[in-house]
Structure 1
């Protein structure tokens, strides 16, 4: 499979690249700081070029998904997996959104969480073939176990964590074998990641 990873130098993007290479995929890396292609998701000409001829793309740009990138995905008929934030998920007790619950989003984190809400809204308003992946409460580097639990639009608990390496496994699994959900979340199977 030919895969483009936008935000390839970041914590999530670099693990997605490693997992894709591990599985034998042909990967094009895109990053503002370098990679195969230097640039960002707001450059339409660049995104058209990057997405032309790939089977799928992963956007790992921490709360930023531009309409430009989605327009390019629509024009090139490229499926895009957007790795977003947990804020749009429903709380486990069903009382509201993670965004509005200070147990999960303390006031100093709220601006970042709101960016993930805007990111999802941008996807939902677009006709491109996108899938939005919300990580659990805790996402940090750790061990690759190759396993995870999958949910849809509610925060998974018990624990609500996953290693970035296992999140990358979930991303590649979705690229290789697309599910039916436009939104999904994942969490580890065992003790807290890290």
Structure 2
């Protein structure tokens, strides 16, 4: 399978590239710098470049968006506009999107709207939630899936084990390696067309979700 990964040099995108290559897929690693990624074809491109995105989508079986809003004070509106443009340019190509934990809900309240949500992460989390709202309203022709992490996501080990849920966290934490496993499992055996789901490592439970340090 030919897979293109935007954000291929990031913490999450890098693991998705590695997991894709591990399974024998043909991977195009797309980043702003075009940095070389062993085993993949490197490509320099901006997500906002709609013409390039449309070309990439038409030339691949699937595109993974593993990008985040600016974390250096940049305008989140630019990232959201680029995401919206990508949604409109994917055509019939399978689109898998790395979502944010902040848009998940506990007792009907989004994590990013909870008073306990860490303030430094709130703006990014709400921008990620807005991207989810955008893709949910995309035309029926868009074949999308969004995978949101547990409230804590960080590098660790690849266990290959995870549990899933739909709108509420499935557990406290997920390693970036196992998040990538879940993403590739969904890509190879689709079961969430035009839907979001979330993953967590099974040995961690919901008891600590309320005190977890969230990702966006």
TM-score (norm 1): 0.90
Deviations 1:128-167 (A, max 9, x none): 211111111100000000110011111123xx10100000
Q: How does 1:40-79 map to 2 (within 5 A)?
A: 40-63=46-69, 64=79, 66-74=83-91, 77-79=92-94
CA distance, structure 2, for counterparts of residue 124 and residue 39 of structure 1? 25
CA distance, structure 1, for counterparts of residue 108 and residue 136 of structure 2? 23
Asked whether the equivalents of residues 9 and 33 of structure 1 are also in contact (C-alpha less than 8 Å), the reply is no
Deviation of 1:57 after TM superposition, in Å, equals 1.2
Consecutive aligned runs of 4 or more in structure 1 exceeding 6 Å deviation: none
Match of 1:106 in 2: 118
Match of 1:97 in 2: 110
Match of 1:155 in 2: 169
Deviation of 1:39 after TM superposition, in Å, equals 1.1
Equivalenced residues, count: 185
CA distance, structure 2, for counterparts of residue 80 and residue 185 of structure 1? 16
Match of 2:181 in 1: 169
CA distance, structure 2, for counterparts of residue 50 and residue 26 of structure 1? 13
Q: CA RMSD in A?
A: 1.5
Among 73, 79, 98, the residue aligned to 1:83: 98
Consecutive unaligned residues in structure 1, runs of 5 or more: none
Deviation of 1:53 after TM superposition, in Å, equals 2.5
Deviations 1:108-137 (A, max 9, x none): 211011111111111112122111111111
TM-score (norm 2): 0.81
CA distance, structure 2, for counterparts of residue 15 and residue 107 of structure 1? 28
Question: Structure 1's 95 and 70: CA in aligned 2 closer, same or farther, altered over 3 A?
Answer: closer
